[in-house]
């Protein structure tokens, strides 16, 4: 039995479906049973458990042999770093004494020690925690999700403008959530001794200019890039509903990304291009 935390999300759903398609037994962990109803029809089991309830989550893990771990996003109106550090602690405590023989966890490219830099710090701490416990662990360091651009679809369609805090010509590792899910499923099925850190990105690196071009091709209209000045980033995040603490953390994380950390030269590469992803996103929106 494979246990999938975050099985109703972008990546976890692909992990679960890939395993089911190969005839594996899968349990989806969710806080909301209604979100997982479709999984039962597809043959998965569903376990309702909140990540903060360590005892209940450990009992779910005891039903399986291997688990995919995804740290849930905190409510953006909260102190997201504090909340996500707490869920990392809960996940690590829940696998202790669970009897799992292997775990695969998702982290992020650029993960690094520090404070007030969002996922870059919080997921680094998840990595450290996994290396400090006895269960063999594989860690996926994910590139920037293509799906982060989903929220721009309405404004791009309405105004022909793609707003971003990143430099317009900055080439970044980006990846489709589907490719991440397939890699995670493969690592879950791999021999126990196959562990380590696995960077994953798409077929090529892309810039905001490339994203705008992909939207333009899919929509058949011009799309320009509007770069938000760095000095206004915290205010921009607050305008989206982020707390002061979250806005500060997200702005620092964005700055570290914009300033170009070193990325691995030999990542696992997915097959889904940015153009293909954006094309499907637009096609799903336009009748």
Give the model's confidence band at 262: pLDDT under 50 very low, under 70 low, under 90 confident, else very high.
Answer: confident
Quick one: pLDDT at residue 121?
Answer: 96
Examine residue 100 and state whether it is found in any structural domain, yes or no. Answer: yes
Q: Pick the closest to residue 82 from 277, 244, 265, 283 (CA basis).
A: 244
Task: Assess if residue 220 is contained within a domain.
Answer: no
Question: DSSP string spanning 175-214?
Answer: E-HHHHHHHHHHHHHS-TT--EEEEEE-SS-B-HHHHHHH
- 214 domain-assigned: no
Q: What Å distances lie between residue 100 and 61, 113, 137, 191, CA to CA?
A: 7, 27, 10, 14
Is 7 within the bounds of a domain? yes
186 in any annotated domain: yes
What's the predicted TM-score (pTM) here? 0.94
- Domain total for the chain? 1
CATH number, domain containing residue 55: 3.40.50.720
How many CB atoms are located within 10 Å of the residue 130 CB?
A: 23
Residue 30: inside a domain: yes
Show the tokens assigned to 209: 């200019």
Residue 189 included in any domain: yes
- The string of pLDDT tens digits covering residues 186-209 is 999 999 999 999 999 999 999 999
Split at pLDDT 50, 70, 90, the class of 278 is very high
pLDDT tens column, 204-242: 999 999 999 999 999 999 999 999 999 999 999 999 999
- The two tokens of residue 132 are 């400090």
Q: What is the pLDDT of residues 34-73, one digit of tens each?
A: 777 788 888 999 999 999 999 999 999 999 999 999 999 9
Mean pLDDT of the chain: 95
pLDDT (0 to 100) of residue 34? 76
The domain in which residue 15 lies consists of 2-145+175-201
Q: What are 101-143's pLDDT values in tens digits?
A: 999 999 999 999 999 999 999 999 999 999 999 999 999 999 9
Q: Is residue 184 part of a domain?
A: yes
| Cα separation, 250 vs 234, whole angstroms | 8
């Amino acid at each position: 039995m494979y246990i999938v935390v975050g099985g109703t999300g972008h990546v976890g759903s692909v992990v679960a479906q890939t395993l089911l398609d190969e005839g594996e037994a899968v349990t989806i962990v969710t806080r909301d049973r209604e979100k997982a109803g479709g999984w039962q029809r597809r043959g998965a089991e569903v376990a309702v458990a909140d990540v903060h309830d360590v005892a209940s989550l450990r009992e779910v893990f005891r039903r399986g042999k291997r688990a995919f771990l995804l740290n849930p996003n905190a409510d953006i109106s909260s102190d997201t770093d504090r909340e996500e550090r707490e869920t990392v602690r809960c996940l690590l405590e829940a696998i202790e004494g669970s009897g799992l023989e292997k775990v695969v966890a998702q982290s992020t490219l650029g993960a690094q020690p520090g404070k007030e830099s969002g996922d870059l710090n919080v997921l680094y701490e998840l990595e450290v925690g996994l290396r400090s416990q006895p269960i063999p662990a594989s860690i996926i360091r994910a590139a920037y999700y293509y799906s982060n651009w989903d929220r721009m679809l309405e404004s791009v369609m309405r105004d022909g403008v793609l707003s971003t805090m990143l430099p317009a010509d900055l080439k970044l590792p980006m990846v489709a959530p589907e490719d991440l899910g397939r890699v995670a499923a493969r690592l879950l099925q791999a021999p126990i001794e196959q562990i380590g850190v696995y960077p994953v990105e798409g077929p090529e690196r892309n810039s905001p200019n490339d994203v705008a071009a992909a939207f333009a091709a899919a929509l058949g209209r011009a799309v320009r890039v509007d770069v938000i000045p760095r000095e206004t980033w915290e205010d921009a995040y607050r305008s989206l509903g982020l707390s002061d603490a979250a806005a500060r953390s997200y702005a620092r994380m964005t700055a570290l990304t914009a300033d170009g950390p070193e990325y691995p030269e030999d990542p696992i590469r997915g097959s889904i291009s940015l153009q293909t992803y954006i094309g499907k996103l637009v096609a799903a929106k336009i009748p």
